[in-house]
Structure 1
Amino acid sequence: MMATVRNMYLFARTAIFRVRTINLPRRTLSQLTHKQFRSGLACGGVTKLVGVYNYSTEKRPSSVGLADELLSAKVQQDTKDKPKGTDEGDPDSEKEREENEKVRRTLRWTFISFGVMITGMGGFLLWSCGSPELGPDGQPIVDEFSEMPTVQQYLLRTWKGMNDMNRMIQEPSRDKLLPDPIKPPYIQPPYTLVLELRDILVHPEWTYETGWRFKKRPGVDFLLHHCGPPLFEIVIYTNEQGFTAFPIIDHLDPNGLIWYRLYKDTTRYVNGKHVKDLSCLNRDLEKVICIDWDVDAVSSPRNHLKVKRWDGNMNDQTLVELGLMLRTIAESEVSDVREVIDYYRTFDDPLAAFRENQRLAQEQELAVKQRVEEEHQQKKFTSSIISSFFRRN
């Protein structure tokens, strides 16, 4: 009796150790009935029954006991009884198949509808763009495609229309952006000043109270009055749309100092960016100065004078300094402004360099005045001595 109890105790410890080692489900052992447990002991003892737990990792011995058979069958039955979502007759599997079928059907009809829409749009494009133009009498006008087959005519006319549209977007809207210079007896300013609107004269700002609005930069009035006619003809050349920029310019310039306004349609579209083409201004580039903060926004770098981009700071005095600089250039009657711009372009801050040059020029002028004054005083003193000498004689 004591030997049997000791064998059962050793069997239980060894079995639990084996279950933990090979990660077999522990419930398998608990599902064995007491009778099966005793049968396993009778057929093979502790060693026979424990060997079953090596079933999944070790090679099954040639002769097994009853407990081995029972446990192996139970493990296989548990594996077969696991739920599978793809089994036939399973409500969840049936519902999943229905949902997948519904998704496939929706995608199929979506692609069909998309194809029909694209085909219809393509057909309408060919019919509207590929048909020949009609004359006043309602008859088709003969062009270079009229002698070709009908399908080829429509295709080539559509292709030409698309190229024309692309060229219209990329090229300026006209070859001459400004009219010809004014003839005498009217006064044509000798220089042309081209100004960007956004972040040079105004800055867009959004708040909860006001929404989007444009702030006027300090010094705008000073710049327009000191650089307006008769020194410069002022042109606004901006990348903004006309319906956005037109009322802003009206508000900035109630006195009409800005002569011309050029908008986004007059720019040239290059490498994904709208560029101001100064060669289309119909003006001599030796007399043109363009003010912008973006170095890539102007086609002629030698005519571009870069200033700092305004971020809305109301203490900014850039336009005041710029007005003084431009007025100095105009009053100096420079023959080619590009030479002046080439010089100031070598500085990170052209306006700061201009201020320094102005300071040095004032110091030199003051020194010259002092020297002239000293010479005058010396001559006056000498003449007084000579006059007094002759009076004595």
Structure 2
Amino acid sequence: MSLRKVLSLTKAGYCRTVKLQTANIFRQNVWLLTATSPRFYSAENLDKTKDAKPTEKVEILGRLFPQAQINQDAQEIKKEQEKFEKENQEKAEENAKSWNRMKMGFAVFGGAMTVMGGIMIFEMGAPRLDDSGAVIEDEFSHMPVVLQYLRRAWKELTFYEKMIKEPSRELLLPDALPPPYQPTYTLVLEFTDVLVHPDWSYQTGWRFKKRPGVDQFLQTVANSDYEVVIFTTENAFMIWPVLDKLDPENKLIHYRLFRDSTHFIDGVHVKNLDGLNRDLSKVIVVDWNKQATKFHSQNTLVLKKWKGDDDDTSLLDLANLLQTIAMSNVTDVREVLTYYGQFDDPIAAFRDNQRRLLEQMEQRDAPEPPLTSSWLRTFTRR
């Protein structure tokens, strides 16, 4: 027998043996499955499964899908929806009632304003009467009656607006006194944050703190050929008592001007110096707000706003500056004020000028060295 044939027989026998072993292993596994799980593979268990009651199935489904819990959740969701819908309905009803009340309020307000407007037009637009009760004719008498009342009422309204925006009078100060009673220069001072600083609290209300050196300042300028005028943008009823305490004898402050003497322009109370009835070449305004004197910036000395610092000495230096102007008999103060107006702090600039002037005076008044010392310095080169 050839070797090839022997190998083929051996191979065929080996394959047959493997197939038999595989079949035996399969049978053993089937038997094991049948022995350990007869419920699934035996006929007896199949019959028992058919005869079993459906309660176990219901219990299993109940565990997986709890119907009672689902029904309870559904009921709660339904209750929440009903509650939400009820709340929305109540809100809608309340909004409707609020809107109706608002419309009624607008109607009542509109009616009241209409009635008040009619009464105002009737009162303000009525023609004026003389002492005997006769009608005084004016520029509107030839117009129809309704138009007459409207035009007169509008004229009255514009008059009150003019009172608010323009000064209460054309000339703010009386005519100057004859010499030598009239001071040469007029000093216009802002009161708030220049001479005093206002402070308010719940315990004390409004209080005014005096700036350091304010009493000495007023005495110095009042005795230095200056007419002192307080011109503030505050109301008179609040500032007048403070001025009485600052100058109880009315010897230092000659005149007092308040908000009613200003022009109200673009939300700012502006001081118009043309109404002072004084020569503007001799008028000096001291203020911290540039906008308050924008019509006459050349006459203004703008200081830094004082906020209550106890170490401030600006008023004393300002008094020296004003005293120097008066002693120098300056013809036009606007030249001096324009020079110091170019500095952010004109008082500091005046201090520097004073210091340099004193140094120059000391050098000028210093004695000259003797001639021998100058020769000795030349030879020794010292």
What's the TM-score once normalised by structure 2's chain length? 0.74
Match for 1:221 among 212, 215, 220?
215
Match for 1:338 among 334, 337, 340?
334
Q: Is the 8 A contact 1:304 1:341 kept in 2?
A: yes
Q: Which has the higher helix share?
A: 2
Match for 1:254 among 248, 251, 270?
248
**CA shift digits 1:351-387 (9 cap, x unpaired):** 11101101111111122222xx549x98xxxxxxxxx
Aligned equivalent of 1:237: 231
1:266 lines up with 2:261 in the alignment: yes
SS in 2 for 1:214: strand
Deviation for aligned residue 1:316? 1.4
Aligned equivalent of 1:30: 66
SS in 2 for 1:137: coil
Deviation for aligned residue 1:99? 2.9
1:145 lines up with 2:140 in the alignment: yes
Aligned equivalent of 2:350: 354
- Alpha-carbon spacing, 1:151–1:218, altered in 2? closer, same or farther (3 Å): same
Deviation for aligned residue 1:267? 0.3
Deviation for aligned residue 1:257? 1.3
Q: Is the 8 A contact 1:288 1:337 kept in 2?
A: yes
Partner AA of 1:312 in structure 2: G
Aligned equivalent of 1:83: 81
Q: Is the 8 A contact 1:187 1:230 kept in 2?
A: no
**CA shift digits 1:60-104 (9 cap, x unpaired):** xxxxxxxxxxx9xxx9999988734697xx6x5665455344323
Partner AA of 1:108 in structure 2: K
1:182 lines up with 2:177 in the alignment: yes
1:365 lines up with 2:335 in the alignment: no
- Alpha-carbon spacing, 1:361–1:100, altered in 2? closer, same or farther (3 Å): closer
Deviation for aligned residue 1:305? 0.2
SS in 2 for 1:296: helix
Partner AA of 2:67 in structure 1: Q
Q: 2:278 and 2:63 mapped to 1: Cα distance?
A: 96
Q: Is the 8 A contact 2:299 2:337 kept in 1?
A: yes
Deviation for aligned residue 1:269? 0.4
SS in 2 for 1:172: coil
Q: 2:91 and 2:226 mapped to 1: Cα distance?
A: 77
Q: Is the 8 A contact 2:224 2:326 kept in 1?
A: no
SS in 2 for 1:83: helix
**CA shift digits 1:149-172 (9 cap, x unpaired):** 111011111111111111111111
Partner AA of 1:31 in structure 2: Q
SS in 1 for 2:334: helix
Deviation for aligned residue 1:108? 2.4
Q: Is the 8 A contact 1:193 1:290 kept in 2?
A: yes
SS in 2 for 1:203: strand
Q: Is the 8 A contact 1:188 1:230 kept in 2?
A: no
Aligned equivalent of 1:163: 158
**CA shift digits 1:122-152 (9 cap, x unpaired):** 1121012111122122222100001111110
Deviation for aligned residue 1:221? 1.2
SS in 1 for 2:337: helix
- Alpha-carbon spacing, 1:328–1:130, altered in 2? closer, same or farther (3 Å): same
Aligned equivalent of 2:126: 131
- Alpha-carbon spacing, 1:268–1:29, altered in 2? closer, same or farther (3 Å): same
Deviation for aligned residue 1:119? 0.7
What's the TM-score once normalised by structure 1's chain length? 0.72
**CA shift digits 1:310-339 (9 cap, x unpaired):** 111222111111101111011111111111
SS in 2 for 1:355: helix
Q: 1:266 and 1:131 mapped to 2: Cα distance?
A: 31
1:204 lines up with 2:198 in the alignment: yes
SS in 1 for 2:254: strand
SS in 2 for 1:127: helix
Instruction: Give the paired residue count.
Output: 315
- The aligned runs of 1:246-325 (5 Å cut-off) are 246-255=240-249, 256-298=251-293, 299-325=295-321
Q: Is the 8 A contact 2:281 2:331 kept in 1?
A: yes
Deviation for aligned residue 1:261? 0.5
- Structure 1: which 5+ runs fail to align? 6-14, 16-25, 34-70, 379-393
SS in 2 for 1:212: strand
Partner AA of 2:140 in structure 1: F
Q: 1:28 and 1:134 mapped to 2: Cα distance?
A: 101
Partner AA of 2:123 in structure 1: S
Indicate the percent of aligned positions where both proteins have the same amino acid. Answer: 45
Q: 1:77 and 1:218 mapped to 2: Cα distance?
A: 82
Answer with 203-212 or 156-165: which moved more.
203-212
SS in 2 for 1:340: helix
- The aligned runs of 1:12-161 (5 Å cut-off) are 29-31=65-67, 83-84=81-82, 95-96=90-91, 98-161=93-156
- Alpha-carbon spacing, 1:178–1:229, altered in 2? closer, same or farther (3 Å): farther
Q: Is the 8 A contact 1:179 1:282 kept in 2?
A: yes
Q: 1:78 and 1:233 mapped to 2: Cα distance?
A: 89
- Alpha-carbon spacing, 1:127–1:208, altered in 2? closer, same or farther (3 Å): closer
